[in-house]
Structure 1
Amino acid sequence: MTDLELAHALAEQAGKVALAIRAAGLIEGKPLGAAGDRAVNAFLVPAIAQHRPDDGLLSEEEKDDSARLDKSRVWIVDPVDGTREYGEEREDWAVHIGLAIDGVAHTGAVALPGLGLVLTSDGASREDHAPTGKIVVSRSRPPAEAERVATALGMELVGMGSAGAKAMAVVRGEADAYLHSGGQYEWDNCAPVAVAQAHGLHCSRIDGSPLIYNRADVSLPDLLICRPELAEDILGAARQG
């Protein structure tokens, strides 16, 4: 399999694992989120090791191995992104399978199992969507930068669950931008960024600097994914304050 085929297969099958655990109806709430995370990770880690034994791995649910820092190719995965939404039996959660090459988000697949979708970095489903005037943000803590952007550009803030769900809302044309600040890690956005870039979207930190992966410090606290024609205005408005 190519990297893209592998990423797609892993994301799709991981989503099925998570859905099966939830459908059993034997665990609820936070314990369900934790169980789903662990089970999906237990599937992904050996699968990646078997198909790409020479590559590095960074997973939210796996003890970090510093050997990855010497690797050019590193798989960066989030088994269940949005465990709260998953545990609440919502649809806005995701599975992230990303591959960073030389620090750049290169290949990605984001599964939205609740919607029966897997979006990938092949760009084959790329479409031109009409502007919506919407910015997707955290359900519980919309960033001040997003509020400034919405005020300055006359846009509407829409709360949504996981990072992957929000990023894919922009890819799918349901929103014009996804803006986040206040804390994320590489596994939260590597796969979504790979997919978004392949669909022609702007992806950067909110100061406009590039997103760099496979670092010793895996914190990547802020992110902008948006329609390319809006990037300059959004970045400018976000910096005001």
Structure 2
Amino acid sequence: MTFEPGTPPAVASTDDHVLATWLATVAGERLLEVRAEGLEGKELKDAGDVAAHDLLMKLVAEHRPDDAVLSEEGPEDAGDRVDRLSASRVWIIDPLDGTREFSEPPRDDWAVHVALWQDGALVAGAVAQPALGETFNTGQPPVVPPSTSARPRIAVSRSRPPAFVNALAEELDAELVPMGSAGVKVLSVARDITDAYVHAGGQYEWDSAAPVAVAAAAGLFTSRVDGSPLLYNQEDVYLPDLIVCRPELAERIVEFVKRHGTDA
């Protein structure tokens, strides 16, 4: 999808896939502008978080005024929880996923996440990778190519890969591929950069909602590490673990975790 700068396509008024894609794309464009302003370190991280969050809040309020929002950078007091928990439609947003990588130009492994939860399920989502000029979305899901690797590849965090994934890699004879943003790791499976992303130990709903929506639309397997469904718009937004992988790897990964847990 291509968009005129600053103007949502007319179909966005009725098509949530198009709106999610546009929102993630324009927020990513704003982040590229912030990145070009010459800031460094924490100043750059903070400026990016604020700029993308403020823009997304403004645009959602303008184009979907009756919907609730859950954003990493937004307030989450008791009133906000009541509002979104009683809402039938909630936008789950991470304005800048991979803040560390964003602050390290020219790294491209950072993203913008925009997902829509409706009546119990994720129904639309988009993950923009602005430094690549790409926005992956549920309206036109990625076509996952056959794996080009002789060995499975597992995406892991650059800074805090869970220890059990090393044991999992030995079990599967897999290669570990470190990278930044959770969204980038999930989409790496759809892009045949990796074959699986397995994580445990510290994420929230906004870290995975949009990437999981896109991955599921592309036909990839998604679940908690024990194989149970990923649930969103919960009172407690802590959602610490997930599996996103090619379907043929799902049973082996889930069975490994059931046998060994995530403390290895």
- Using the TM superposition, give the Cα deviation of residue 187 of structure 1 relative to its aligned residue in structure 2, in angstroms: 0.3
User: Which residue is 1:34 aligned to?
Assistant: 46
- Using the TM superposition, give the Cα deviation of residue 224 of structure 1 relative to its aligned residue in structure 2, in angstroms: 0.5
Distance 1:234 1:123, change over 3 A: farther
- The TM-score, its normalising length taken from structure 2, stands at 0.88
Distance 1:123 1:235, change over 3 A: farther
2:32 is aligned with 1:15 = no
Cα separation, 2, equivalents of 1:130 and 1:194: 21
2:147 is aligned with 1:130 = yes
Secondary structure of the residue that 2:231 maps to in structure 1? coil
- Using the TM superposition, give the Cα deviation of residue 131 of structure 1 relative to its aligned residue in structure 2, in angstroms: 4.9
Stretches of structure 2 that go unaligned for 5 or more consecutive residues are 1-11
Secondary structure of the residue that 1:191 maps to in structure 2? helix
Further displaced range: 64-73 or 216-225: 64-73
Cα separation, 1, equivalents of 2:127 and 2:218: 13
User: Which residue is 2:241 aligned to?
Assistant: 222
- The TM-score, its normalising length taken from structure 1, stands at 0.96
Report Cα offsets for 1:1-53 as digits up to 9, x if no partner. 1101100110110001000011111x101221111010110100011011111
User: Which residue is 2:55 aligned to?
Assistant: 43
Cα separation, 2, equivalents of 1:11 and 1:155: 32
User: Which residue is 1:103 aligned to?
Assistant: 120
2:19 is aligned with 1:3 = no
Which structure would you say has the larger Rg? Answer: 2
Aligned 1:106-185 pairs, distance under 5 A: 106-132=123-149, 133-185=152-204
User: Which residue is 1:92 aligned to?
Assistant: 109
CA RMSD of aligned residues (A): 1.1
Cα separation, 2, equivalents of 1:209 and 1:72: 23
User: Which residue is 2:5 aligned to?
Assistant: none
- Using the TM superposition, give the Cα deviation of residue 124 of structure 1 relative to its aligned residue in structure 2, in angstroms: 4.3
- How many aligned positions are there? 240
Cα separation, 2, equivalents of 1:52 and 1:169: 30
Identity %: 53
Structure 2 letter corresponding to 1:121: T
For residue 208 of structure 1, the aligned residue among 222, 227, 230 is: 227
Report Cα offsets for 1:154-208 as digits up to 9, x if no partner. 0011111010110110111111000111110000000000000000000000010
Secondary structure of the residue that 1:10 maps to in structure 2? helix
Secondary structure of the residue that 1:57 maps to in structure 2? strand
Stretches of structure 1 that go unaligned for 5 or more consecutive residues are none
